[in-house]
Amino acid sequence: MSPTTLQALTPQRMLLASVGVAVITITLKTAAWYITGSVGLLSDAMESFVNLASALFGLAMVTIAQRPADDDHPYGHHKAEYFSSGFEGALIIGAAAAIIWAAAGRILNPQPLEKMGWGLALAVGSSALNGLLAWVMFRVARAHRSIALEADARHLVTDVWTSAGVVVGIGAVIATGWLWLDAVVAIGVALNILWEGGLLVWRSSQGLMDEAVEPEVLAEIEKTLQAFKPRAVRVDHLITRRSGQRRYVDLHLHMPANMSLGKAAALRTQVEEALVAAVPGLRATIQLLPSDVEPLQDDEIDRPGDQGP
């Protein structure tokens, strides 16, 4: 898939596709549960309802995140995507609890399964559809640095594993005749998606707390700054953060005291342009200082251990 194609497939378009696929998979999986009576397939269908709700909420949050900065939000609305990821994680946790509740009774009171061939075919078909969409969404999420889209893709992958577990469980029921295996598989699936939901909630909380940029992005920033060191420039107090699709870096740029203000400003512009070219979408805040001057810092994050190159 070419870079041009990835840029054309915006997060909004992919989440719209996710809504459409969720409706299709809900239909297929509900039909599979209806004709078989399998609580494992019921758990699979319930997660697809979560997929639909998550995709709709994600679409709303991504749309909000694209709004330009305004007087009330001078830094933009990019963090709205973290709400989408956290909401999706909470829905996954709720779905897992509902699946465990539905399956617990079946362990003590197993029910016979019917028309298993049709049920398995519908489950496999919907799983393949989700897997294909998740593969595309992961690539688009990386291209646009969209945590909301990545969260939806991870949820779809969880759905694929859910379906795979259900199919294996139903196959085991057919092979052994142990009807209680259907409920055990459903509980196992629920525990797996419970873990995935917890991870999504954790990642969202870290984003809302201004987590530092990814290690590879920080390495690119430091590599860019190293190129200016031969010009008697010192960089310190390098601090980074990420907010949705945006990446931010704050730093102090020390110049020789005898350099004119015009030359210092021109060099600062060159540094900023180099950083933005190295990390697309980066927002750089650069404070100019004479090389023999250190600003008064009273914030714990500005201790020497946090200084840049």
Ranges 168-177, 257-266, 294-303: which has the least confidence = 294-303
What is the residue extent of each domain of the chain? 3-208, 215-306
Report whether pLDDT(304) > 50: no
- When pLDDT is averaged across residues 206-216 and rounded to a whole number, the result is 75
301 pLDDT tier (thresholds 50, 70, 90): very low
- When pLDDT is averaged across residues 13-41 and rounded to a whole number, the result is 83
- When pLDDT is averaged across residues 112-126 and rounded to a whole number, the result is 73
pLDDT value at residue 186:
73
Report whether pLDDT(71) > 50: yes
Report whether pLDDT(7) > 70: no
What one-character-per-residue DSSP string does the chain give?
--HHHHHHS-HHHHHHHHHHHHHHHHHHHHHHHHHH--HHHHHHHHHHHHHHHHHHHHHHHHHHHTSPP-SS-TT-STTHHHHHHHHHHHHHHHHHHHHHHHHHHHHHS------HHHHHHHHHHHHHHHHHHHHHHHHHHHHHT-HHHHHHHHHHHHHHHHHHHHHHHHHHHHHH--THHHHHHHHHHHHHHHHHHHHHHHHHHHHHTTPPPPHHHHHHHHHHHHTTGGGT-EEEEEEEEEETTEEEEEEEEEE-TTS-HHHHHHHHHHHHHHHHHHSTTEEEEEEEEETT-------GGGSGGG---
Report whether pLDDT(244) > 70: no
Fold of 3-208: Alpha-lytic protease prodomain-like (1.20.1510)
Q: pLDDT, tens digit, for every residue of 161-196?
A: 777 777 777 777 777 777 777 778 778 777 877 887
Report whether pLDDT(308) > 60: no
pLDDT value at residue 307:
46
CATH number belonging to domain 215-306: 3.30.70.1350
- When pLDDT is averaged across residues 234-240 and rounded to a whole number, the result is 87
275 pLDDT tier (thresholds 50, 70, 90): very high
Q: In whole numbers, what is the pLDDT of the chain averaged over residues? A: 77
